[in-house]
Amino acid sequence: MTRRQFIATAALASLAVATSCRSAKDGRSKASRAPARFFFTSQGKTAMMNADGSGLRWFDFNVPNQATWQPCGFLRDGHRVLFLSMEPRRDGPGKPFDEYYHQTPTHIWVHDLDNGTLTEVATRDRMAPFYTPQLLLNDSRILMQVVRNKVGQIFSMNLDGSDAREFTRAGEGMPYGLSLSPDARRVACHIASPSGYQIWVSDADGGNRAQLTGHPEHLYFCPCWSPDGKWLVFQDCIHKKDPGHDWSDLYLSRPDGSEQRLLTKDQALWFAATYGNGENRGGGSNTPTWSRDGKVLCSHRLPGSKVAWEFQAQRPDTDHFNRDYKPELARGGAEICKIDPRDSSLTKITQPGELVWDFRQSESPDGKQIIFCRARTGESPAIWVMNADGTHPRELTRGLDNRGADHPRWLPQGNSFSS
């Protein structure tokens, strides 16, 4: 596998949550509903917070030999959360990332936010040490990435790990960025194949698969269904001119591949988010999201922008980052914008100014707020929230020991949670 096939690793959990969360309808009274809440990660740990900045809670499951924890999906009742944990990484300094990373054992758990229980799942008939959840199809069925002998494959299996069935075939390329249609009948994804990144759509069981796009000059990435299920948006990176995948354009298509068109031009979106400084750095793929009114929220770069972390294409990648910190070269920044797919019109939601980068934007389940990350050049990101029209922006957290907070994702609303 190449470096490009791992660019989504840091965002896998957040993508799974974004594409599988739905507002739960479990019959609880309106009086029991909790305030809007979100998860975020910081320094390998996960926390939960209310959207008004109160109620901070760090998850510490005290399970031996687990180095990191990430949320990766909600069951339909909204209060049971799927977590991925990873043991200390088997790769280390100087070792090729793609040779050792997938030898690291992972574990999948269901955590009940109401009663605090933690139960390991996906243990039956385990096929390899490295499992990562890709998409919850329903409360009992999941699409799981399984890597064996450096070859990745997606299996559909019961949540306990039994009854595994091939969703993709070994050797045909690794699907990432899986997205479930609103009616839960179709799955969209991008496949990292030897001929490039391609967008595919299939039935939820993997059947009736059809390719929407694919070209060796283009890296098509992370399709996302519109709220009505009639459209997909995804990113288009001209990767040979931009080997660090810093920038992309926004692409629109019908699920059958028709009516395809670009919504932006000149690689206008900030794609590979990188932030921090030489002592505290981070990053991960940055993807657009839909709003409830059928618009697309994205991180739109200022003209002429350049990040402080310069990608080193000539150097072997041993850390899945492969960048040098050059703050003197940084210029521009990124704003949260809303794009209307009907006419490609763009509305600025934030205007943070020069050398400030806004990203990881998503709308709350009720459509009233937008959560996002903001990082000044050379600094780690903080998590901010604002009204859906961009008014009343305020910082909520800078993470553990103020060392940065990333990957915010909303919890479904309409449920009660224990404090």
Tens digit of pLDDT for each residue in 221-252?
A: 999 999 999 999 999 999 999 999 999 999 99
Q: Where are the domains of the chain?
A: 3-410
Residue 303 tokens read as 């003209």
Question: pLDDT confidence of 317, banded at 50, 70, 90?
Answer: confident
CATH number assigned to the domain with residue range 3-410, chosen from the 4 options 3.30.565.10, 3.40.50.720, 3.40.50.10540, 2.120.10.30: 2.120.10.30
pLDDT of 262 reads 97
pLDDT of 204 reads 96
Say which DSSP state 4 is in: G
DSSP SS3 for 391:
coil
Please state the rounded mean pLDDT for residues 106-121: 96
Where helices occur in 56-154 by DSSP H, the ranges are 97-100
Strand segments (E) across 137-229 = 141-148, 151-158, 165-166, 174-180, 186-193, 196-203, 210-213, 219-225
Report the range out of 68-72, 169-173, 275-279 with the highest average pLDDT. Answer: 275-279
H or E element in which residue 369 lies: strand 369-376
| Residue pair 200/189 in contact by the 8 Å Cβ criterion | yes
Name the CA dihedral angle for 212, 218, 224, 230, rounded to a multiple of 10 degrees: -40
pLDDT in tens, 288-298: 999 999 999 99
Half-sphere exposure of 81 (CA within 13 A, CB side): 31
pLDDT of 30 reads 40
Cα gap 198→281, rounded to integer Å:
30
Cα gap 216→388, rounded to integer Å:
38
Nearest 5°: CA angle at 398, between 394 and 400?
150
DSSP SS3 for 392:
coil
| Residue pair 255/201 in contact by the 8 Å Cβ criterion | yes
DSSP SS3 for 16:
helix
What contacts 20, CB < 8 A, 6 or more positions away? Answer: 73, 74, 135, 136, 180
| Residue pair 184/228 in contact by the 8 Å Cβ criterion | no
What contacts 363, CB < 8 A, 6 or more positions away? Answer: 289, 290, 291, 292, 297, 369, 370, 388
Region of 91 (left: φ > 0; alpha: ψ -120 to 50; beta: rest) is beta
Q: Which amino acid is at 161?
A: G
pLDDT in tens, 132-182: 999 999 999 999 999 988 888 999 999 999 999 999 988 888 788 999 999
CB neighbour class for 311 (10 Å; exposed up to 12, middle 13-18, buried from 19):
buried
Tell me the pLDDT of the chain averaged across its residues.
Answer: 88
pLDDT of 173 reads 81
Distance from the Cα of residue 395 to its chain's centroid: 21
Question: pLDDT confidence of 92, banded at 50, 70, 90?
Answer: low
Q: Centre a 10 Å sphere on the Cβ of residue 262 and count the other Cβ atoms it contains.
A: 12
Q: Is the pLDDT reported for residue 26 higher than 90?
A: no
Q: Sign of torsion, CA 352 355 356 357?
A: positive
Cα gap 267→101, rounded to integer Å:
31
Q: CA nearest 419: which of 117, 42, 34, 31?
A: 34
Q: Centre a 10 Å sphere on the Cβ of residue 290 and count the other Cβ atoms it contains.
A: 20
Distances (CA, A) of 33 to 73, 78, 81, 164: 20, 11, 17, 36
- Over its C-alpha atoms, the chain yields an Rg (Å, rounded) of 20
| Residue pair 72/83 in contact by the 8 Å Cβ criterion | yes
